[in-house]
């Protein structure tokens, strides 16, 4: 979703250098551009849809230009529908340049950060807020530092399992609806929608505020999604994996996430199963795969038996 420039100014605590301009521009890309080559007069392939960063080099280059040439180059840049120009190091701009920007209704903002830190901070902010997003039905927990998305049809026991996990000291991120963002090429981050943040629904009891019931230490605003635990009703006609060698994945936003299917039947401790699945996933990430180790041990035993 595009980010209004006014929201950027608020979120990043930027200084509005021409408050007389009421900008309705929005930012649609996380890429940035430093307009040094445009200040030198070359406008072919000008990526004007990006935020313009005016750093120390561009600032001092402007001062070397004759006033009429400087104004004409700046006027040409401002004639493009740029979302805004951001000036680093609190250097500001000459009054005549601010006047040109205001005439074109282009927002100029400033930051006290140096150019490198400013670009890094902005790219992280824009990558997150402009990331590809999807909503999935389920519960998202942080279990032993592993982001676990618990999925399954309504009434299977997802929320009850989440409450049990919270009681054991694990962290609730989202219940019922998980907002998933794809950061970069293959990193998924999940969070709760604002409407249901910190809330959980338990059939027969109703809506519970986990933060109020269990304290601030029982919740987490967001977490990476490392594992999907899918709960399904036990099907006696189905053959379930008993060794753990048949690994499967759930594709979310074109990213493959390891998926574990847990059959549900009376007397099964689902919260314990989720804890074990999270520990096992963490062990795999640290380089040890128990199922493969057992398979290798079995192979060696069979060789000796021969």
Catalytic residues: 137, 158, 176, 242
155-181 CB burial, b ≥16 within 10 A, e <16: ebbbbbbbbbbbeeebbbbbbbebbbb
* Residue 264: other Cβ atoms inside 10 A: 15
Q: Which residues carry a binding-site annotation? A: 152-159, 201
- Residue 258, phi then psi, degrees to nearest 5: -55, 135
Annotated binding-site ranges for ATP: 152-159
Q: Assess contact for 253 and 134: CB atoms under 8 A.
A: yes
Rounded CA-CA distance 129/189 in Å is 12
Between CA 100 and CA 6 the distance in angstroms is 20
Angle at 273 between CA 293 and CA 296, to 5 degrees: 10
Return binding residues for Mg(2+). Answer: 159, 201
Q: How far apart are the first and last CA of the chain?
A: 64
- Measured CA to CA, the distance from residue 274 to residue 262 in angstroms comes to 9
């Amino acid at each position: 979703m595009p980010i209004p420039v006014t929201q950027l100014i608020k979120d990043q605590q930027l200084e509005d250098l021409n408050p007389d301009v009421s900008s309705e521009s929005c930012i649609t890309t996380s890429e940035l551009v430093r307009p040094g080559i445009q200040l030198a007069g070359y406008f072919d392939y000008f990526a004007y849809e990006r935020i313009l960063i005016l750093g120390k080099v561009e600032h001092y280059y402007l001062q070397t230009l004759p006033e009429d040439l400087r104004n004409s180059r700046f006027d040409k840049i401002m004639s493009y529908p740029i979302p805004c120009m951001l000036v680093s190091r609190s250097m500001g701009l000459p009054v005549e340049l601010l006047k040109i920007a205001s005439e074109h209704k282009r927002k100029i903002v400033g930051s006290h950060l140096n150019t490198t830190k400013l670009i890094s901070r902005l790219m992280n902010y824009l990558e997150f807020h402009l990331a590809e997003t999807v909503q999935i039905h389920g519960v998202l927990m942080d279990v032993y530092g592993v982001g676990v998305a618990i999925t399954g049809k309504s009434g299977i026991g997802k929320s009850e399992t989440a409450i049990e996990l919270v009681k054991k000291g694990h962290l609730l991120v989202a219940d019922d609806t998980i907002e998933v963002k794809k950061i970069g090429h293959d990193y998924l981050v999940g969070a709760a929608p604002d409407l249901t943040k910190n809330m959980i629904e338990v059939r027969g009891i109703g809506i519970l505020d986990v933060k109020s019931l269990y304290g601030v230490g029982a919740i987490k605003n967001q977490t990476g999604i490392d594992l999907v635990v899918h709960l399904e009703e036990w099907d006696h006609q189905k053959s379930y994996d008993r060794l753990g060698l048949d690994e499967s994945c759930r594709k979310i936003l074109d990213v493959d996430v390891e998926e574990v299917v847990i059959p549900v039947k009376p007397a099964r401790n689902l919260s314990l199963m989720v804890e074990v699945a999270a520990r096992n996933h963490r062990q795999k990430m640290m380089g040890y795969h128990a199922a493969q180790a057992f398979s290798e041990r079995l192979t060696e035993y069979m060789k000796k038996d021969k």
